[in-house]
A and B are shown apart, each in its own frame.
Chain A
C-alpha cells in the first residue's frame, strides 16, 4: 500500500510539473447520463455532442462528449475519474454525493420540473399491485428505491416493500418490459408515457427536478462563467442556476424522505393598527372654517 501511495504521489507531482509546459489546454470530458429524461440513445448522443460543442466554444477549450447508456458504465467512468462534468438525472446527482457539485438545472421547454407516472397494463390502483414487478430505470444504484419511495410516492408508500423492483437500463427498456410482460408496471416520466398504447396511468407524482449539470473535477468557476453564453441545447432550454437550497432540499427529500406531517396551528388574523389608539381622535377631526365674518353688524344708527 505504501509503495502504491508513493507512486501515485510521484505521478501527481510529475503531472504538475509537466502541465504548465503543455501548449494547449487539456481536453475535458462531458458525461451525459440521462436514462429517463431523454427518450433514446440517439437523442442522448446528439445532446451530448451538441452540448460539448457549445461548452467547448464557451469555455474556449476542447471538450469531448461521452454519452452513457447504462448506470454501470457511468459509475465506472466516474470512479475512474474519466469525466470532468456531467449532465445527469436529479436523483443520480444526489447519489454522487460529495463527488459532484450541482450547478444548474436543465429542463425541457415549458416545464422546469417533471411528474413521474406509474403505468401498467393492469386495471386497478397502485395498492392492487402489491408484490407485482415494477420496472425501474437504474439511474443511481442504491438511491433508486429511495427516490421512488420518498420523492415519487411522497413517503406514503414503501416501494421496496410494496413492489418487486425490477431494474432496467433506461426508459425505453422499461416500457418494452411492460410490453413483454416482464413487469406489471413501470415508473417513467409523464412525458414518456406512450399515448397510443394500451397502458393505464395508475399514479402521478408531484413535480420533481429533472436533469442537472454537475461539476466533478473542480470546473465550477469556468462552467459558471460559460453557462450564460451556452444557451439552449435541444431538447433542453438554457441551464438555470440552482438557487439557494433547492438542491439540498431535493437531496434531503430523496435520502431522508419528506418530513413527518405534524399538526399545524390555526393562524389568528394578524393584529392591525387602530388609529384611535395611537392618535388622539379629536386631532383628526375636521378643521372648521372661522365664522368671524358672521359677527358683522350693519352700519345703521338709532335716530329720533
Chain B
C-alpha cells in the first residue's frame, strides 16, 4: 500500500482538480484574506496605540496616555491621508483628537467623511461631541440626537450632553427625556453620580413649571448628601414656582449665610430682592457677589441693581465691566445699550449696538435689541430694517415678527402690523403676545375703518380680534361695529356672551339692550337696560340706561311710561340727544296707535306736543306728523282738512310711506265721507300692488265700503242697491252676523217678513238690534204690542246704544196705552229721572 498505483490515479486527480477549479463554486476554493493596504495597516497600528493610551489613562498615567494618543492620532492621520475616504481612519482621528480635546481638528478632518457617510455612528459620535464642545449647537445637536437614537451603551454620555444643551436652550421636556434615558442606561457602577442627574432633572422640571416633580428631583439629589448650595438653589426656584417668593428668599438667605462663597445662590437671592422691589438688599448681595468673584454675571447683576436705583451711569459702568471680562457677551452688549437709553443717549446706544453688530457679534438678541433701540429713538425705518434681519436669522421663531409688529404698531401701520403678528402666529400658533397684539392692531384698524365709513371692514377686523381676545372690551367694540351696520341679531349674539365676561360693566349691558332692541326683542332689551342702570352709580350713565329703557317701552306699547322717561331725561347730554331724536317720533307713533284705538283726542294731543317740540331738521318726521294729523282729522269727520293734510304730507313721496299710501289714505277719507264709489276707485288702484302687511286691511276696507254702500242705499229706500252691496259683502264674509242681520232687514222691506224674522231670532243673542227689529215687526206688521214691548225690553237690556232713548219711549208708550207692566221682579230698564218727572 506504500506504493499507490500511480498511473491512472495520478492522471485523474489533477484533472478533477482542474475541473473543480473551473466549474465549481468559489466557496469551494480555499479563503485567503487580501493583503492589507497601507492605510489599513496604519489604522491597525493606530488602534494598537489607542489601546495602550486607554490602558495608561486607566492606570492614571496621564503623560503616557497623552503620548500614546498623539501617536495614535499621527497614525490615523497618515491612514486618512493615504485613503481620504476611509471611515475607519476618520473615526480614529476623531476619537484620538477628542481624547486630546483637539475639537477643531476633529471637526476639520471628520466633516467631509461624515458628510459622505451620514449614517456612520462611528463618525457622527466624535464629530457631534466636538461640535458640542465648540458650542456649535445647531450643527452638533442633530448629530448627537442621531447617536442617542441608536441607544448604544458606549454612547451613554451623549444623553447627558443633550440634556445639558436642552437645559441651556430652556427646553425642559427634551431635557427630562434625555436625563431619564441616561438614568435607565447607565451601568450600575456609575450610579454614585446619580445625584447630579437628579439635580439637572429638577432644573428641567422647573423649566416645565412642574413644581411637584421638580421638588421630588431636588429632594432626591440632596438625599443622604451634605447640603448642596446648587440643589438648595433649585428648591428655591421651586418655591418661587409655587408662588412663595418670601419662602424662597428665606431659604436662600440661609444658603448664602452658610455658603458665603457660593455665587449662584447669592445672584438668585439678589434677583428675588430686585423682583420684590427690595433694592437695598439686592445691592448688598450684588456687591458681595462682585467680591466673591468678578464674574460677568456678578457685574450684570450689579448693573441691574444700579438701573433699579436709577443710577444709569453707574449701571453703564458695571455693564461695561461685564464686556471687559467677557468681550462680545451679547447680554452685556444689550445691557450697555439699555443703560445708554436710560440716560436718554439713544444715538449712542444705537451706535454702540451697531458697532457690536459690525464687530461680528451677530446674535439674534443683539439685532433684536438694536432694532428696538432704534424704534424707541423714533428711527422706525432702521428698526424695521434691523428686525427684518432678525426674521431672516430665525425664520422659525416668532421673535422677529413680533418685533416688526411692534415697529409697525408704533407708526400706526396697522395693515403691516397685522400681517407681522399673523406671521408670528403661523410660526408659533400658541404665542400669547402675538394673539394679544394682533387683536389690538385689528382693533386699531377697525376704529380707523369705522371712522372712515367702512363699517363692514371694521366688523371683519373685530370679529377676528374677538376670536383672539375674548374680552368684554373687545366684545363691546365688535357689538358697536355690528350695530353700525345694523346687524343687530349678530350684535346681540356677541354681546349676550360679552356681557357675561369678566370685567363687563354697565356699558356692556347698555349695548346688549340696544342690540336686543334692534333685533326686535324689546322685553329682553328692557331687562338689559334695567341691569345697566343698576350696575352704575353715575347719574349720567343711569340717564343713558333710562333712555334706552324708554325706547324698549315704546316697542312694548308702554308709550306713556316711555314719554315720561324721555321728557325727564336727567343730566346726561348723550341721553338728552337720544331722547331728542326719539321723543317726537315716539309721540307720532303713540298718536297713530291712539288713532288705531279710536282715541282721536289723545292723538291730537300727542301731535300738538310734536308741533311744540319741533322735529328739528327731520323733514320726514314733520311730514309723518302731518300725515297722522290728516288721519285724525278724517276720524273726527273733518274731511276737507284731512284731505289737505294728507296731500301735503305725501308731497313729495316720503321714505316712510309705501308707494300706495297716498291712494289708501285717500280711500280712507272718502270712506269716512261716505263717498263709496270714489273710495273704491282709490282702493282698487292701491290694491294692485299690495305691500307687506296690507292685504288684511285692504279686505277690511273693501268690506266696510260694501257695508257703507248697503247702509246708504237702505236709508234711501233703495232695496235693490242695498241687497247688491250686502251680497258682495257676504261673498267675502258669509258668516258675518251683522251682514246676515242687515240682509234680513232688506228681506223684510221686500215683503219676506217670515224669513227676516227667522234670521233675527237666530241672531238675537249676537246682534242686539235684532231684538229691536223683532219689536218693530210685532208692532208695525202684526200689531202685537205686548210682543213688541217684550222685544224692545230685551233690546234695551242689551246695553247702551244710540237708539235707546227712542226705543224706550216707544216701549213705555205702548206699555201705558196697553197696560203692559214690567215683568215682576224686573226693574224697569234704564228708568231715569226724566221719565218720572212731568
State the A residues within 8 Å of B (CB).
115, 117, 124-128, 153-154, 156-157, 190-191, 193, 202-206, 260-268, 270-281, 283-298, 300-304
Chain A residue nearest in CB terms to B763: A266
Given contacts A273-B595, A279-B624, A283-B656, contact A263 B749 (CB under 8 A): yes
Please tell me if the beta carbons of A304 and B451 are within 8 angstroms of each other in the complex. Answer: no
B711 at the interface (CB under 8 A from A): yes
Tell me which residues across on chain A come within 8 A of B657, comparing CB atoms.
Answer: 278-280
> What's the Cα separation between A202 and B624 when bound, in Å?
63
Report how far A289 CA is from B710 CA in the complex, Å: 52
Shortest B503–chain A CB gap in Å is 14
B467-483 interface mask toward A, CB cutoff 8 Å, 1 = contact, 0 = none?
A: 00000000011011101
Complex-state Cα separation, A295 to B661, whole angstroms: 40
Does B780 sit within 8 A of A, measured CB to CB?
yes
Pairs of residues from A and B, 4 with the lowest C-beta to C-beta distance, nearest first? A125-B819, A283-B656, A291-B480, A294-B480
Flag the segment in B247-255, B348-356, B436-444 that touches A: B436-444
- Are the C-beta atoms of A297 and B443 separated by less than 8 Å? yes
User: Which of A127, A275, A287 is in CB contact (< 8 Å) with B585?
Assistant: A287
Is B596 within 8 A of A275, CB to CB?
yes
B585 touches A288 (CB 8 A): no
Q: Within the complex, which residue of A154, A204, A266, A295 is in contact with B767, where a contact is CB–CB below 8 Å?
A: A266
Q: Is the CB of B704 within 8 A of A271?
A: yes
Report yes or no: B476 in contact with A127, Cβ–Cβ below 8 A: no
Q: Which residues of A contact B716 (CB under 8 A)?
A: none
Q: Is B124 an interface residue (CB 8 A)?
A: no
Whether the pair B479, A291 counts as a contact (CB closer than 8 A) is yes
B458 and A302 contact, CB distance less than 8 A: no
B368 near A263: Cβ-Cβ < 8 Å: no
Identify A272's interface contact among B574, B598, B742, CB under 8 A. B598
Give min CB distance, B194 to chain A, whole Å. 41
- Which residue of A128, A277, A294 contacts B693 across the interface (Cβ within 8 Å)? A277
For the complex, is B694 an interface residue (Cβ under 8 Å from A)? yes
Residue pair B742, A279 in contact (C-beta under 8 Å) = no
B772→A264 contact, CB < 8 A: yes
Q: Is B372 touching A286 in the complex (CB atoms < 8 A)?
A: no
Per DSSP, are chain A's interface residues mostly helix, strand or loop, or mixed?
loop
Distance A156 CA – B838 CA, assembled complex (angstroms): 21
Q: Which residues of B contact A124 (CB under 8 A)?
A: 819
* Chain A nearest Cβ from B338, distance in angstroms: 12
User: Is B773 in the interface zone, CB < 8 Å from A?
Assistant: yes
Complex contacts, B241 vs chain A, CB 8 Å: none
| Complex CA distance for A117 and B585, rounded to whole angstroms | 62
**How far, in whole Å, are A115 and B714 apart by their CA atoms in the complex?**
33
CA–CA, A127 and B821, complex, Å: 13
From known contacts A204-B816, A266-B769, infer whether A261 and B595 are also in contact, taking CB-CB under 8 Å. no
Asked if B810 and A286 sit within 8 Å, CB to CB, the answer is no
B819 and A127 within 8 A (CB): yes
Docked-complex contact A265 and B480, CB < 8 angstroms: no
Size bin of chain B's contact surface: 35 or more
Jot down 16 A-B pairs with beta carbons below 8 A, ordered by A. Answer: A126-B816, A126-B817, A126-B818, A154-B809, A156-B817, A157-B817, A191-B838, A202-B816, A262-B776, A263-B776, A278-B661, A286-B555, A288-B518, A298-B440, A303-B372, A304-B368
Binds A, one of B14-22, B103-111, B309-317, B405-413: B405-413
Q: Are B514 and A291 neighbours in the complex by a CB distance under 8 Å?
A: yes
Docked-complex contact A264 and B665, CB < 8 angstroms: no
Please pick, from A126, A262, A273, the residue contacting B749 in the complex, using a CB distance under 8 A. Answer: A262
**Which of A124, A277, A290: most chain B CB closer than 10 A?**
A277
Tell me which residues across on chain B come within 8 A of A270, comparing CB atoms.
672, 704
Complex Cα gap A116–B790 (Å): 25
Q: How far is the CA of A301 from the CA of B414 in the complex (A)?
A: 12
Contact yes or no, A265 B711, CB < 8 A:
yes
> Would you give the shortest CB distance from B642 to chain A, in whole angstroms?
11
A151 smallest CB distance to B (angstroms): 12
CB distance from A55 to the nearest CB of B (A): 30
B230 within 8 A of A: no
Measured between alpha carbons, how far is A273 from B769 in the docked complex, in Å? 26
Q: Are A127 and B655 in contact (CB under 8 A)?
A: no
Say whether B88 faces chain A, with CB atoms less than 8 Å apart.
no
Residue in A205, A274, A293, A302 with the greatest tally of chain B CB atoms within 10 Å: A302
A260 and B780 within 8 A (CB): yes
Q: Would B507 and A294 count as touching, CB distance under 8 A?
A: yes
Is A277 within 8 A of B406, CB to CB? Answer: no
Query: Which residue of A115, A125, A279 contacts B627 across the interface (Cβ within 8 Å)?
Result: A279
| A302→B441 CA distance, assembly (Å) | 10
A289 and B664 contact, Cβ closer than 8 Å, known pairs A275-B596, A277-B697: no
Contacts of B450 in A (CB 8 A): 292, 295
The answer to whether A302 and B749 touch across the interface, beta carbons within 8 angstroms, is no
Evaluate contact between B406 and A276: CB separation under 8 angstroms. no
The interface residues of chain A lying within 8 Å CB-to-CB of B704 are 268, 270-271
Interface 9-mer from B55-63, B172-180, B575-583 = B575-583
Residues of chain A contacted by B776 (CB below 8 angstroms): 261-264
Give chain A residues whose Cβ lies under 8 Å from the Cβ of B410: 301-302
Q: How far is the CB of B569 from chain A (nearest CB, A)?
A: 13
Closest to B780 in A: A261
The reply to whether B748 and A295 form a contact with Cβ atoms under 8 Å apart is no
- B212-243 CB mask vs A (1 if < 8 Å, else 0) is 00000000000000000000000000000000
Chain A residues in 8 Å Cβ range of B589: 275, 284
- Do A284 and B406 form a contact, CB below 8 Å, given A125-B818, A266-B770? no
- CB-CB < 8 A to A128: which residues of B? 819
Q: How far, in Å, is B39 (CB) from chain A's closest CB? A: 56
Whole-angstrom distance between the alpha carbons of A204 and B745 in the complex?
31
Q: Is the CB of A296 within 8 A of B447?
A: yes
Interface contact A193-B484, CB-CB below 8 Å: no
User: What is the chain A residue whose CB lies nearest that of B577?
Assistant: A289
Q: What is the chain A residue whose CB lies nearest that of B769? A: A266
Q: A274 near B697 (CB under 8 angstroms)? A: yes
Partner of A265, one of B443, B769, B810: B769
B402 on interface, CB distance cutoff 8 Å: yes
Find chain B residues with CB under 8 A from A204 CB.
816, 838
Interface residue B551 (Cβ < 8 Å from any Cβ of A)? yes
CB-based contact A190/B838 at 8 Å: yes
Q: How far is the CA of A266 from the CA of B711 in the complex (A)?
A: 9
Nearest B-chain residue to A265, judged by Cβ: B742
Q: What 0/1 pattern do residues 574 to 608 of B give for CB contact below 8 A with A? A: 10011001100100110011011110000000000
| A239 CB → nearest B CB, Å | 23
CB distance from B570 to the nearest CB of A (A): 15
Contacts of B518 in A (CB 8 A): 288
The answer on a CB contact under 8 Å between B658 and A278 is yes
Query: CB within 8 A of A268: which of B582, B634, B656, B738?
Result: B738
Cross-interface CB contact of A295 among B458, B656, B671, cutoff 8 Å:
B458
Cβ-based interface call for B517 (8 A) = yes
